[in-house]
């Protein structure tokens, strides 16, 4: 039904302009009504979608007794910054910066490691390249829960249990990212790369000075997905990290909640801010990335 809006009264206009204008006036009224209806539905849906967020946003500024108050009210009588004291204390900032560190290092390494592999598979000729590509591709089918138990055992054997390095190295190599990067780099013009080589630029220099700048869209997508998946990573820290001082934010939110729900929700809100900033800054890349992979998750 909604799609009929796509075809306005153009055809009639071309055939019989005088009747067309008359009809258009009547159609304009009908269209106006239809648009009002559409916008009413759109706004209603927006209200439902945004409600939990708006509610969260107001709740974190309420004093504790108002959060528990019955009947619950959307708006508070008194607003306070009390809850923000908690997120500015070491209790919260420690896991926060811990997560920032792990997430940023993972994102940079993901772009570098998977970018180099994607480039080699897209633009270099060597024996075994097709086999390696299909091996990577086939491992995309394996859900990462399969790796859970052996990854734990491997990390344990490496003596890296309960370290930040463990969280980073288990999350860097991503067959899905290699696949995306390779598909994109296949489209880069060979002539430019050949020209660089002929001028004596090494493969490394070609990669960093020509290929990387030309591939920012796909590398941006990989960086964003890496950031999102590692920032929200719960399962890996759950099995690899035990010491509370090494908790990441997801672990902290679940295992070290404050007894005050206002403080917990403020912590949850602040936890959402970095992904939100990344989302807002790179929204353009993001929707393209979703179209490329189907989800916002690591493949």
Partner 1 sequence: MVRVSKDPIGTASRTRRKFPVLPYVFLLPMMLSWVVFNLIPVFWSLGLSFTNYNLISPAHFVGVANYAHALLHSTLFWLAVRHTLWFVIAVPLGIAISLGAAFLINALPWGQGLFRFIYYLPSALSSIAMGVLWAFLISFGTRSILSQVMADIGFPHGLNFTGPGLFLAFVLFSGLLTGWGPGMVIFSAGLRGINPEFYDAGKLDGATGLKATWYITLPQLRLTLMYVVITGMIGSFQVFESLFVIGSLGTGSQFGPLNSGLTLVPLIYEKAFSYLQFGYASAIAFLMLSVIMVLTIISMKYGQGGAALGK
According to CB under 8 A, which one of 14, 36, 75, 199 is a site residue for partner 1? 199
What distance separates the 2 farthest-apart alpha carbons in the chain?
Answer: 83
**Is the CB of 11 or the CB of 78 nearer to partner 1?**
11
- Please count the residues of this chain forming the interface with partner 1, following the rule CB under 8 A: 110
According to CB under 8 A, which one of 107, 185, 196, 222 is a site residue for partner 1? 196
**Is the CB of 80 or the CB of 154 nearer to partner 1?**
154
Q: How far is the CB of 250 from partner 1 (least distance, A)?
A: 5
Residues 247-266 that bind partner 1 (CB under 8 A): 249-250, 253-255, 257, 261, 264-265
Residues 78-117 that bind partner 1 (CB under 8 A): 112-114, 116-117
According to CB under 8 A, which one of 16, 22, 29, 41 is a site residue for partner 1? 41
Q: Does 20 bind partner 1 (CB under 8 A)?
A: no
Q: Does 137 bind partner 1 (CB under 8 A)?
A: yes
* Residue located via tokens 């055939």: 15
Q: Does 166 bind partner 1 (CB under 8 A)?
A: no
């Amino acid at each position: 039904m909604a799609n009929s809006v796509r075809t306005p009264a153009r055809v009639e206009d071309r055939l019989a302009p005088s009747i067309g204008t008359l009809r258009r006036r009547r159609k304009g009224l009908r269209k106006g009504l239809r648009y009002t209806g559409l916008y009413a539905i759109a706004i209603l849906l927006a209200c439902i979608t945004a409600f939990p967020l708006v509610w969260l946003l107001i709740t974190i500024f309420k004093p504790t007794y108002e959060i528990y108050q019955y009947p619950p009210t959307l708006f508070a009588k008194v607003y306070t910054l009390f809850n923000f004291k908690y997120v500015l204390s070491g209790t919260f900032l420690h896991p926060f910066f811990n997560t920032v560190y792990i997430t940023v290092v993972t994102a940079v390494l993901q772009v570098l490691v998977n970018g180099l592999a994607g480039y080699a598979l897209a633009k270099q000729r060597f024996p075994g390249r097709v086999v390696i590509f299909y091996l990577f591709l086939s491992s995309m089918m394996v859900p990462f829960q399969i790796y859970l138990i052996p990854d734990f055992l491997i990390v344990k054997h490496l003596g890296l249990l309960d370290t930040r390095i463990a969280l980073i190295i288990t999350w860097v190599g991503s067959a899905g990212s290699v696949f995306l990067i390779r598909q994109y780099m296949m489209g880069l013009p060979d002539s430019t790369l050949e020209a660089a080589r002929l001028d004596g630029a090494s493969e490394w220099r070609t990669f960093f000075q020509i290929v990387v700048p030309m591939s920012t869209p796909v590398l941006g997508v990989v960086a964003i997905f890496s950031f999102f998946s590692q920032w929200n990573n719960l399962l890996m820290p759950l099995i690899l990290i035990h010491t509370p001082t090494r908790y990441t934010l997801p672990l902290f939110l679940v295992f070290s909640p404050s007894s005050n729900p206002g403080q917990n929700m403020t912590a949850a809100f602040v936890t959402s801010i970095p992904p939100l900033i990344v989302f807002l800054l790179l929204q353009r890349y993001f929707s393209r990335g979703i179209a490329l992979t189907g989800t916002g998750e690591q493949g």
